[in-house]
């Protein structure tokens, strides 16, 4: 059915005027949309916001000078899209299974479906790493080299039957190559953290690929394999700089760890996009994982020190004001919440002088909510003395919260939505707080603000407040 839809849409595109054919077109359909628009972005800058019609279709024509990788986004999901001048590209996606359902038609369908397939295989690499991480480093090298060889062999077959441009060939080959490098980085991290004795067995040549990396490749700044590799490389280097026998080195949310990565960004990247992208991400992480006012002040001084042109300092200052309310030791008894029946209530009216665990979620991340429900059920049975409360963050779109609650059996006594006086343009800030856990003692005092439901440290914190 989805291919029939793509064909129909392509026919309608074919009826466009000669003048339109000089433009580049992207269009398609979003099934089960989260909002009434999509965006097209290039190197983190929005090209345009494109509305969906009453059947959730969209279409957009624009002038394009040269081929490049763009980002199609329907919040909170996104995917890379290859476009070249005069292209007519169509896509169909179901938000309930965004990556798995995404399919392309049109003049660059082979290129774009290849990128989707590579993305899905890259995601499957997560499970692969977990299943391989106990094998010896030599065996891991053999297995991952074999995977890369197979990827290149399959691409060579596709290339022989297609008219790919040199630019796209470079993108595709680097996608395979950096996936391979990234698997090495993730394996090394697991070895260092969980099986440090095995890390001693690493052959000297294990990291030789690092000398081949271009850390400032402007053609790859929208490439998921390249960006994920850089992220994991920075993570490993921040640990290598630290004394690895100190287990705090592996806490990626630790203030000092994030600061080390910020310094690496400053040293490593000359490309303005890469420097701004990673700095923005890490500085936000440093803000939302700050536990004291001193750490927040230090973060503000780092923002001034870097002085990047693409940095929205006003947004970052607003984020520090939000975080200031959730520092360790703060009292959250008067925190305002909305009930499913649209009443306003304060936390102390829900949690009657008992230890409390707040966990956050968004209707735009529904899969995580379902996983969280199972974990919370397990915790409630194990710790009946603790009040576990679900806090939805979609305070600027109450409707999607209410609709999400209808999709699963919820207990109204434990489901609430945060009420915030944050400016309307700060909705994106709250994605920084998704799937977070806040542990409060019986006096509503915050004892930890940096955990997740699946963090092994959470049970220790629960036992601390019970004792």
Question: What is the C-alpha to C-alpha distance for residues 291 and 438, in angstroms, rounded to an integer?
Answer: 12
200-244 tens-digit pLDDT: 788 989 999 999 999 999 999 989 899 999 999 999 999 988 876
Query: pLDDT tens per residue, the chain (467 residues)?
Result: 444 444 444 444 444 444 455 789 999 999 888 888 899 998 878 899 999 999 999 999 999 889 999 998 887 788 889 999 988 899 888 887 777 778 888 888 899 999 988 888 877 777 777 777 678 888 889 999 999 999 999 999 999 988 899 999 999 999 999 999 999 999 999 888 888 877 778 898 999 999 999 999 999 998 989 999 999 999 999 998 887 666 678 888 888 899 899 999 989 999 988 998 899 889 989 998 999 999 999 888 888 777 666 667 777 888 888 899 999 999 999 999 999 999 999 999 987 778 999 999 888 776 677 778 888 889 999 999 999 999 998 887 788 888 888 877 676 788 999 987 666 655 555 677 888 899 999 999 999 998 888 888 899 999 998 88
Contact 209, 181 (CB under 8 A): yes
- What is the model's pLDDT at position 147? 92
Burial class (CB in 10 A: 0-12, 13-18, 19+), 35: middle
What pLDDT is attached to residue 448? 92
Which burial class, exposed, middle or buried, applies to 118 when counting CB atoms under 10 A from its CB (0-12, 13-18, 19+)? buried
pLDDT per position as a tens digit, 284-327: 899 989 999 999 998 888 887 776 666 677 778 888 888 999 99
| Buried b / exposed e along 236-253 (16+ C-beta atoms within 10 A) | bbbbeebeeeeeebbbeb
Asked if 57 and 92 count as a contact pair (C-beta separation under 8 A), the reply is no
Q: Name the one residue in this structure whose structure tokens are 């699946």.
A: 454
Residues 296 and 422: their CA atoms lie apart, in Å, by 18
Q: Which residue has the tokens 């929205």?
A: 312
- State residue 112 phi and psi, 5-degree precision: -75, -35
Q: What is the pLDDT of residue 11?
A: 42
The alpha carbon torsion through 263, 266, 268, 271 (nearest 10 deg) reads 150
For residue 131, the tally of other CB atoms under 10 A from its CB is 9
pLDDT of residue 14: 47
The overall longest dimension of the chain from CA atoms, in Å, is 75
CA distances from 309 to 84, 273, 275, 279, 372 (A): 29, 10, 11, 12, 39
Separation between Cα atoms, residue 35 and residue 51, nearest integer Å: 9
User: How big is the chain, counted in residues?
Assistant: 467
363 closest CA partner among 412, 336, 403: 403
Q: Can you give the pTM of this predicted structure? A: 0.84
Inter-residue contact 230 to 278 (CB < 8 Å): yes
Collect all residues with Cβ–Cβ distance below 8 Å to 263 and sequence separation of at least 6.
none
Provide the pLDDT for residue 20. Answer: 55
Looking at residue 455, its pLDDT comes to 86
The answer to whether the beta carbons of residues 416 and 338 sit under 8 Å apart is: yes
Q: CA of 37: how far to CAs of 2, 76, 93, in Å? A: 20, 12, 13
What is the rounded CA–CA span in Å between residue 79 and residue 202? 35
What share of the chain has pLDDT > 90, as a percent?
A: 41
**Measured distance CA(68)–CA(223) in Å, rounded:** 11
pLDDT in tens, 393-413: 888 778 888 888 887 767 678
Q: What pLDDT does 311 receive? A: 65
**Pair 50, 38: CB distance under 8 Å:** yes
């Amino acid at each position: 059915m989805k291919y029939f839809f793509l064909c129909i849409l392509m026919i309608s595109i074919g009826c466009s005027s000669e003048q339109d054919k000089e433009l580049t077109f992207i269009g398609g359909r979003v099934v089960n949309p989260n909002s009434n628009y999509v965006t097209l972005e290039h190197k983190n800058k929005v090209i345009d916001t494109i509305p969906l019609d009453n059947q959730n279709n969209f279409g957009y024509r624009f002038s394009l000078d040269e081929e490049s990788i763009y980002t199609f986004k329907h919040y909170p999901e996104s995917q890379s899209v290859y476009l070249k001048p005069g292209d007519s590209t169509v896509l169909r996606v179901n938000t309930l299974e965004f990556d798995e359902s995404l399919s392309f038609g049109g003049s660059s369908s082979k290129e774009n479906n290849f990128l989707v397939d590579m993305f899905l295989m890259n995601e499957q690499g997560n499970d692969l790493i977990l299943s391989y991480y106990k094998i010896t480093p030599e065996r891991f090298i053999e297995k991952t080299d074999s995977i890369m060889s197979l990827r290149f062999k399959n691409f060579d077959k596709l290339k022989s039957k297609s008219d790919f441009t040199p630019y796209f060939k470079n993108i595709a080959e680097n996608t395979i190559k950096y996936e391979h490098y990234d698997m090495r980085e993730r394996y090394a991290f697991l070895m260092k953290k969980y099986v440090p004795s095995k890390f001693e067995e690493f052959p000297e040549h294990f990291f030789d690929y690092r000398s081949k990396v271009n850390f400032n490749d402007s053609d790859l700044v929208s490439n998921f394999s390249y960006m994920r590799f850089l992220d994991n490389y920075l993570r490993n280097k921040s640990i290598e700089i630290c004394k690895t026998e100190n287990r705090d080195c592996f806490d990626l949310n630790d203030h000092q760890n994030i600061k080390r990565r910020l310094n690496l960004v400053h040293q490593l990247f000359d490309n303005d996009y890469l420097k701004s992208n990673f700095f923005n991400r890490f500085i936000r992480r440093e803000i939302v994982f700050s536990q004291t006012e001193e750490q927040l002040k230090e973060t503000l001084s780092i923002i001034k020190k870097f002085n990047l042109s693409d940095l929205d300092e006003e947004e970052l200052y607003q984020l520090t004001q939000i975080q200031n309310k959730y520092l360790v030791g703060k009292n959250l008894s008067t925190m305002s919440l909305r009930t499913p029946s649209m009443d306003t209530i304060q936390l102390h009216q829900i949690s009657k002088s008992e230890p409390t665990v707040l966990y956050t979620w968004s209707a735009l991340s529904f899969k995580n909510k379902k996983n969280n429900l199972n974990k919370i059920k397990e915790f409630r049975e194990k710790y009946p003395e603790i009040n576990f409360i679900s806090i939805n963050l979609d305070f600027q779109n109450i409707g999607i919260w209410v609709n999400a609650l209808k999709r699963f059996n919820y207990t109204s006594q434990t489901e609430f939505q945060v009420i915030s006086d944050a400016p309307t343009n700060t909705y994106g800030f709250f994605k920084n707080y998704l799937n977070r856990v806040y542990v409060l003692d019986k006096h509503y005092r915050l004892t930890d603000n940096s955990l997740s439901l699946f963090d092994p440290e959470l049970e220790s914190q629960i036992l601390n407040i019970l004792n």
